[in-house]
């Protein structure tokens, strides 16, 4: 009797909270957990007529086919190299901007600068692709008409030449994300005790020396943690950047194909569910392992910043 | 403190360098705004330019006249953004509240269930098959709102952390001793005390909905469900089609309907305007969210 009352009391306490959590939990169950169990599709020869569950099991055939193609190598290489470049160049740009910004903190125009810096990160990839198109299109783009032509250089058909895109995509990504990325560093610098700088100044340290011996060393933990977290996502790419910004141009696939664009193209354009599912699972699994490894490292470096 | 000469030089260098960087961030926007009011013939002959020879408002007049496609898409974008953000914010904070209650038996279990979705994903294919084959979501407004965007682990944990560190458990307990139910506590105490984080997460969600075009790319084939972003995608596809050498037929068939270059740019401008409108009042919530999110997800 007493025990029954205890459970009903506990139930009375937990049930209302569970009710509040229910819609959100249901959403995660459907949107995230059911697809997780759906990864078995990668081991099937999907045939809609037989249904997903009725389709034949084919073991690792999809993966064998996938890794026999050159696509597998190209998309893996592109995804990794772009991400490594983005992390390295992005970190440098963001820190550079943050140091300059913190110098101007008290100026009336610093708010305006900050708006200008975050704005590029807030527009959609579609609008971004149009900005890029205004600069690069072959017939009337700004670069061809207003830069190359006056200099007497030959016009370039940017959307047909793959060799330029590794540079173009890095520039586009930096334009979009460097300002936004600098906010975190900007906040860390703002948190540094001003008296350290004053002491250094009294000892005769100039600005550059202060940056080298105070700002940068104190930023180091933030830099390390943010870089490690980016490395955890190194197998993921921004679909829009690699699909829409190059306008899905076939001539550019060798330098713009990443795992995410391959998954989309295999599924929606080639109707090859098996290959797409295999590439997707390959990405998910490697990504998962990377996050675990990176988290273990972060925990060693600075346990406050570990994800779990 | 008095600035030394070296410091003044450094400040001047920072101001100039940052001015150039901010200019580089702004210039592309200025280019499309100017292009959108450039006369079409000038665009074709001289290219996109900061100093066009002839101006014209034709593009905007055309957009106003083509109300059916353009205004409709604009309306779809607004509807999806408002509904998605409102529902998403509600279920996100409702889920975050029990997770923030240390006296709730399952708070850690819930937190792990949400957190795990950030570590591992089933990928596009199972998700696509589920939404299309089992939920039959193709070509509907739900396809633009529900998949992937309604709630995510990052936002839930952001709200949970805010609840946990800003609303003391004592306050909740005393409200409940006074007879408030959990639902009442949540709506009357938690939410009013958490406006800053709700503004931050609402802004993240609103931007994600306004800027999303990928859901429609996968799930929508009928143009009446296109928002502004997908209308732009369609226009860009038409350019590619014309450039790809298959243009022979396309020119005869579709050239009349194809909006001019200035119209395309005008649409891009109108796609940015709502962001420009909400940015100044909400910028502080955005920067705050970025900092908290990066330091502790």
User: What are chain A's domains?
Assistant: 70-305 (1.10.3720.10)
Task: State pLDDT tens for residues A14-41.
Answer: 899 999 999 999 999 999 999 999 999 9
Q: Pick the residue with more confidence: A241 or B244?
A: A241
**Is the Cβ pair A20, B286 closer than 8 Å?**
no
CA–CA gap between residue A189 and residue B22 (Å, rounded): 20
Q: How far is CA A114 from the centre of its chain?
A: 22
Q: Pick the residue with more confidence: B254 or A262?
A: A262
pLDDT at residue A193 tops 80: yes
Residue range A162-183: mean pLDDT, rounded? 94
Task: Give residue A48's pLDDT.
Answer: 83
Rg (CA), chain A: 25
CA–CA gap between residue A268 and residue A262 (Å, rounded): 10
Q: Which residues pair with A44 in a beta bridge?
A: A57
Q: Which residues, at least 6 apart from B61, have a Cβ–Cβ distance to it below 8 Å?
A: none
B interface test, pick of A7, A18, A21, A149 with most B CB neighbours within 10 Å = A21
User: B138, B130, B137, B144: which is closest to B87 by C-alpha?
Assistant: B144
Query: Residue B165 CB: number of other CB atoms within 10 A?
Result: 9
CA–CA gap between residue A155 and residue B56 (Å, rounded): 27
Conformational region of residue A271, where left means phi above 0, alpha means psi within -120 to 50, and beta covers everything else: left
- Nearest chain B Cα distance for residue A4, angstroms: 18
**Is the CB of residue A261 less than 8 Å from the CB of residue A243?**
yes
Could you tell me the pTM of the whole model? 0.90
Task: State pLDDT tens for residues A200-222.
Answer: 989 888 888 999 999 999 998 88
- Taking the CA atoms of residue A94, residue A99, residue A102 and residue A107 in that order, the dihedral angle to the nearest 10 degrees is -100
Contacts of A195 in chain B (CB under 8 A): none
CA–CA gap between residue B243 and residue A174 (Å, rounded): 28
Task: Give residue B294's pLDDT.
Answer: 63
CA–CA gap between residue A125 and residue B106 (Å, rounded): 39
**Is the Cβ pair A159, B243 closer than 8 Å?**
yes
Task: Give residue B253's pLDDT.
Answer: 38
User: What ipTM was reported for this prediction?
Assistant: 0.90
Chain B, residues 121-140, CB within 8 A of chain A, namely: 121-130, 133
Q: Hey, what are B123's tokens?
A: 């990928």
Task: Give residue A108's pLDDT.
Answer: 72
What is the 8-class DSSP label of residue A258? -
**Is the Cβ pair B47, A135 closer than 8 Å?**
no
Task: Give residue A5's pLDDT.
Answer: 54
**Is the CB of residue A28 less than 8 Å from the CB of residue B114?**
yes
**Is the Cβ pair B110, A305 closer than 8 Å?**
no
Task: Give residue A146's pLDDT.
Answer: 87
CA–CA gap between residue B109 and residue A42 (Å, rounded): 29
Contacts of A280 in chain B (CB under 8 A): 122-125
Question: In this complex, which of A24, A288, A305 lies closest to B156 when CB atoms are compared?
Answer: A24
Q: Hey, what are B82's tokens?
A: 């408002």
Per-residue confidence in pLDDT tens, chain B, 297 aa:
567 788 888 888 888 998 899 889 889 999 999 988 888 888 877 888 888 888 888 888 877 777 668 888 999 999 999 999 999 999 999 999 999 998 888 999 999 999 999 999 999 999 999 999 999 999 999 999 999 999 999 999 999 999 998 888 889 989 989 988 999 999 999 999 999 999 999 999 999 999 999 999 999 999 889 999 999 898 888 766 655 544 444 333 344 344 567 888 888 998 999 999 988 888 888 888 877 766 554
Task: State pLDDT tens for residues A71-102.
Answer: 999 999 999 999 999 999 999 999 999 999 88
**Is the Cβ pair B123, A35 closer than 8 Å?**
yes
Query: Residue B207 CB: number of other CB atoms within 10 A?
Result: 22
CA distances from A145 to A155, B34, B161 (A): 8, 16, 52
**Is the CB of residue A121 less than 8 Å from the CB of residue A180?**
yes
Confidence of residue A281 (pLDDT cuts 50, 70, 90): very high
Q: Cite the beta strand spans of chain A per DSSP E.
A: 44-45, 56-57
CB of B260 within 8 Å of a chain A CB? The answer is no
pLDDT at residue A250 tops 70: yes
pLDDT at residue A42 tops 60: yes
Region of poorest pLDDT, from A52-56, A70-74, A172-176, B209-213: A52-56
Task: Give residue A176's pLDDT.
Answer: 95
Task: Give residue A216's pLDDT.
Answer: 93
3-state secondary structure of A56: strand
């Amino acid at each position: 009797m007493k025990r029954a009352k205890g459970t009903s009391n506990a139930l009375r306490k937990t049930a209302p909270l569970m009710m509040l959590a229910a819609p959100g939990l249901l959403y995660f169950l459907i949107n995230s957990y059911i697809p997780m169990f759906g990864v078995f599709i990668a081991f099937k020869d999907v045939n809609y007529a037989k249904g997903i569950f009725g389709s034949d099991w084919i073991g690792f055939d999809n993966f064998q086919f996938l890794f026999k193609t050159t696509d597998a190598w190209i998309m893996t290489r592109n995804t990794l190299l772009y991400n490594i470049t983005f992390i390295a160049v992005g970190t440098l740009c963001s820190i550079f901007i943050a140091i300059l910004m913190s110098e101007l903190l008290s100026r009336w125009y610093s708010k305006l600068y900050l708006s200008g810096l975050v704005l590029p990160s807030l527009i959609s990839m579609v609008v971004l692709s149009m900005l890029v198109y205004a600069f690069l299109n072959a017939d009337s783009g700004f670069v061809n008409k207003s830069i190359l032509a006056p200099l007497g250089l030959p016009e370039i058909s940017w959307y047909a030449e793959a060799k330029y895109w590794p540079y173009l995509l890095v520039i586009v990504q930096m334009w979009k994300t460097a300002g936004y990325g600098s906010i975190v560093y900007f906040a860390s610098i703002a948190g540094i005790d001003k008296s350290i700088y004053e002491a250094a100044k009294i000892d005769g340290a100039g600005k550059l020396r202060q940056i080298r011996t105070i700002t940068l060393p104190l930023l180091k933990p933030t830099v390390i943690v943010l870089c490690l977290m980016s490395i955890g996502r190194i197998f993921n790419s921004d679909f829009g950047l690699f699909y829409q910004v190059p306008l899905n141009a076939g001539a550019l696939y060798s330098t713009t194909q990443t795992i995410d664009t391959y998954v989309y193209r295999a599924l929606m354009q080639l109707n090859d569910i098996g290959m797409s599912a295999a590439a997707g699972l390959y990405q998910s699994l490697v990504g998962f392992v990377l996050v675990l490894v990176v988290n273990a490292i972060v925990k060693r470096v600075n346990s406050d910043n570990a994800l779990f | 403190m008095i600035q030394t000469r070296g410091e003044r030089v450094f400040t001047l260098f920072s101001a100039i360098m940052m001015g150039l960087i901010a200019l580089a961030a702004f210039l592309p926007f200025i280019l499309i705004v100017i292009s959108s009011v450039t006369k079409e013939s000038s665009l074709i002959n001289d290219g996109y330019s900061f100093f066009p020879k002839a101006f014209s408002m034709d593009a905007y007049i055309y957009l106003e006249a083509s109300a059916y496609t353009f205004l409709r898409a604009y309306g779809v974008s607004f509807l999806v953004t408002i509904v998605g953000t409102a529902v998403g914010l509600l279920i996100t904070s409702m889920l975050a509240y029990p997770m923030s209650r240390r006296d709730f038996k399952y708070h850690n279990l819930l937190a792990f269930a949400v957190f795990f979705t950030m570590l591992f994903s089933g990928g596009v294919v199972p998700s696509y098959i589920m939404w299309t084959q089992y939920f039959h979501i193709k070509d509907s407004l739900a396809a633009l709102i529900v998949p992937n965007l309604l709630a995510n682990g990052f936002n839930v944990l952001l709200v949970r952390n805010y609840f946990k560190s800003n609303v003391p458990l004592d306050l909740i307990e005393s409200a409940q001793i006074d007879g408030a139910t959990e639902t009442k506590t949540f709506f009357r105490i938690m939410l009013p005390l958490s406006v800053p984080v709700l503004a931050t997460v609402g802004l993240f969600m609103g931007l994600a909905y306004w800027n999303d075009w990928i859901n429609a790319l996968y799930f929508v084939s009928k143009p009446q469900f296109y928002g502004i972003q997908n209308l732009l995608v369609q226009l860009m596809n038409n350019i590619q089609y014309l450039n790809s050498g298959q243009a022979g037929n396309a020119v005869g068939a579709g050239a009349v309907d194809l909006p001019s270059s200035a119209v395309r740019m005008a649409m891009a401008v109108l796609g940015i305007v709502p962001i420009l409108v909400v940015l100044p009042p909400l910028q502080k919530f955005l920067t705050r969210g970025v900092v908290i999110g990066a330091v502790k997800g």
